[in-house]
Structure 1
């Protein structure tokens, strides 16, 4: 059975851009575009924004940053496009880049346009049209983890990729950087979390596990399932945070979003992907499977698990700060301050060995 492709919606007023300028720019760079594009916006997009451009004869996807203040190194559209270009030959799930624009005269921000990969993107719940039983869900889950393992096996010394790495010390740099981002994202009433930062500093491994290409946001809602085969992944999206670094840090970031069936009701309310379904591996089972497939030592997993949650907490708080400062009016961000406080509590429970 097949499910409907991911559905784009009307563009939010605050996320609109000058369609005529984009159309003129693209027709100078992509041959054969016909008509004027109808523009829709894909759901999600708490960080960068993603749009569907439907021409008479072709569909394209545009990515651009949100308006308002942003972290210095975040939302770099040109870097994301370069990474995707460099990775495409070795990792076929990367969409092809068709055009890049660093001329802010077009829409006021950098953006890029890529091919549209038609298929199903999983959101909060598993579509019944997929017709997956427990065994099918397990196969889907294992295929998802396998695609992450395949990414980690890409030769990171290739031109365009090796430049992303800064050598040994990735874990220490990440901990320092995300700790500073947390402090900069503070709002009235937010938790200082200095105890969590101190725990991570005391528990961090002395050396990185490896230097490989990592995605840093590998989730079900960033993969595209084949329209006619829900077990086949045809695309991996959102390469904004991709770099060369420690693979267990990547896995930890991915599992921070992994809400499973026995989690508490508050964490269940955060769920954005169907990781609670019967047949899905638990977080511990994913880690064990990853270790078995790669031969990597996962015995000190607790550090990576807590760092993943801390990092997600920072991202949530950064988005909430934009909302608190009035830089976005999107109502879905109103509760992000409470969400960040919950994530801090979750970190502390893990630090105390309670979960």
Structure 2
């Protein structure tokens, strides 16, 4: 790609959304106190995509960094624990350089009204729903990108948790049961009058839970295309992995199931196509079955019971959408992007029910 084309497809920050502003002077004072060598004026813009933690671009004296803070009106503390994510990155970066280096953290609410941390900015391309006009993949490049994505997930699952001093991230015993019960409770708590009850899906998941894995691993918990950074000159290559806020230790197939919940193929039903948020349907992209085959070949793990993991991934995604929609429904936030999420919740339940109906578990 030419230089001007590369610049056009790079992930860019924009004007901060109303109600999500942060105080530049307060952030500047914090940065100068905690990071050596910073000087000059500060400019803050916001990355527009995503529905979870808020992410800002800090430009100070020509040095670019990323600031992450919880969303406005968030109710789920564990999913937005800035201190925990900072600690994970601190331990992980030396053994997995694909993750950004954390630079500073504070829980002092007087600075911007919420805990936050600052990390290095990984420059590159982040894929959204559709490829930008300036970027195209050959079928071979698309396939290679998908293979790389799954191989890198296998690398994450191969990290030695103890050697990386990541023992604090979670207990693998009873992980699947805690996930099913925890996300079911969250859905019931966040359900609004216009949302489906999902009781059939929750009952099936509770009934079909596999036993604890004998080989628990690091679990990223939100591994997908728009959480990886691509090489601007060779976009089939991945140079970074983002959003480690929900990282834990448990069954790696839960990670793969969560990933494939986002994976909409070009021949999937119309209601699934409407929920697509990443270019997983581009020509040459792996199918979900091909991804399972690639993961099995790379790790040696069986995906025989994958209907459970895929169904759970769909349900979990529905819960996340419902929790965000709850904040809009009850006017905790006025972000109009959240209004359409109720249709995603309904569509995800329908997809999960189709998995259940066709499963032989």
The counterpart of 2:189, out of the listed 160, 184, 188, is 184
Please give the alpha-carbon distance, in whole angstroms, between the structure 2 residues aligned to 1:233 and 1:100.
Answer: 27
Match of 2:224 in 1: 219
- Note if 1:258 corresponds to 2:258: no
Please give the alpha-carbon distance, in whole angstroms, between the structure 1 residues aligned to 2:31 and 2:317.
Answer: 35
Residue 276 of structure 1: how far off its partner (Å)? 0.4
Residue 63 of structure 1: how far off its partner (Å)? 0.3
Match of 1:26 in 2: 31
SS of residue matched to 1:80? helix
- TM-score, length basis structure 1: 0.97
Q: After superposition, give the CA deviation of every residue in 1:177-224 in whole Å (9 maximum; x if it has no partner).
A: 111111111111222222111111111102225211111111111011
Match of 2:173 in 1: 168
Please give the root-mean-square deviation of Cα atoms over the aligned residues, in Å.
Answer: 1.5
Match of 2:89 in 1: 84
Contact 2:322 2:342 in 1 (8 A): yes
Please give the alpha-carbon distance, in whole angstroms, between the structure 2 residues aligned to 1:72 and 1:127.
Answer: 35
Match of 2:312 in 1: 307
Match of 2:48 in 1: 43
Please give the alpha-carbon distance, in whole angstroms, between the structure 2 residues aligned to 1:72 and 1:112.
Answer: 16
Match of 2:201 in 1: 196
Please give the alpha-carbon distance, in whole angstroms, between the structure 2 residues aligned to 1:100 and 1:332.
Answer: 29
Residue 269 of structure 1: how far off its partner (Å)? 2.0
Aligned residues: 355
SS of residue matched to 2:75? coil
Question: Which has the larger displacement, 290-299 or 263-272?
Answer: 263-272
Match of 1:208 in 2: 213
Contact 2:92 2:164 in 1 (8 A): no
Distance 1:163 1:245, change over 3 A: same
Match of 2:240 in 1: 235
The counterpart of 2:322, out of the listed 317, 320, 326, is 317
The counterpart of 1:248, out of the listed 245, 253, 273, is 253
Contact 1:224 1:236 in 2 (8 A): yes
Q: After superposition, give the CA deviation of every residue in 1:271-295 in whole Å (9 maximum; x if it has no partner).
A: 1211001110011110111011111
Contact 2:95 2:164 in 1 (8 A): no
Residue 157 of structure 1: how far off its partner (Å)? 1.7
Structure 1 segment 10-159 matched on structure 2, within 5 A: 10-158=15-163
The counterpart of 2:343, out of the listed 332, 338, 343, is 338
Structure 2 unmatched ranges of 5 or more: none
SS of residue matched to 1:6? coil
Question: Which has the larger displacement, 257-266 or 57-66?
Answer: 257-266
Contact 2:325 2:339 in 1 (8 A): yes
Residue 140 of structure 1: how far off its partner (Å)? 1.0
- TM-score, length basis structure 2: 0.95
- Note if 1:288 corresponds to 2:288: no
